[in-house]
Structure 1
Amino acid sequence: MNGQRPADTLDADRRYVRVRREREDGFIEFDFAIGDPDVFVELVLRRDALADFCAANKVELLPAGTAGGETDDWTWRLADARDTRFR
């Protein structure tokens, strides 16, 4: 190999954050991904802690919206279950 990564190789140096919701209690719900913005974990932090988290991880901010840009029966988040099932 010539020292370059193939296009389909996961780049673990790239980090992503997509803000989902700013809550009234001062917490921010967001998605955090490493290498692939479509594979993420859902996290919650206060605004100042999120700013520190983003700086420490050198994240790329993604626009709000659905991961992958599509919605269907398979596109849902844990927060969706909380909002519809546990009220």
Structure 2
Amino acid sequence: MRVESARMDTTRRFVRICGERGNGFIEFEFAIGEPEVFVEMILTREALTEFCAANRVEMLPPRDPDTPQGDWDWRLADATHTRFRQAQ
């Protein structure tokens, strides 16, 4: 029996806009191959437009804030609003 391995398509690039800061910077997620595995980035609107064109990205819809999130579904930006408990 032959088992086919799933291959990640590294030609696919994804961007999801997460927010805009008052100083004009855009927060977004960038992924290669799998939209679920991403890095958080921040660029000016002009730089983001250039970045998206250079990477030929597929734009993803914004996350639905009303959809429940799992324990591992959080962004680094969320940590700025969370107070972590210190080990005792």
TM-score (norm 2): 0.81
Which residue of the partner structure matches residue 29 of structure 1?
Answer: 27
Q: Give 3-state SS (helix, strand or coil) of 2:36's partner.
A: coil
Q: Read off the aligned partner of 2:56 and give its amino acid letter.
A: K
| Unaligned stretches of 5+ residues in structure 2 | 84-88
Alignment of 1:74-85 (within 5 A): 74-85=72-83
Q: Give 3-state SS (helix, strand or coil) of 1:71's partner.
A: coil
1:9 aligns with 2:7: yes
After TM superposition, the runs of 4+ consecutive aligned structure 1 residues lying more than 3 A away are: none
Indicate the structure (1 or 2) with the bigger Cα radius of gyration: 2
Partners of 1:49 and 1:17 lie apart in 2 by 13
Higher percent of residues as helix: 1
Q: How many residues align?
A: 79
TM-score (norm 1): 0.81
Q: Give 3-state SS (helix, strand or coil) of 1:55's partner.
A: helix
Identity of aligned residues (%): 56
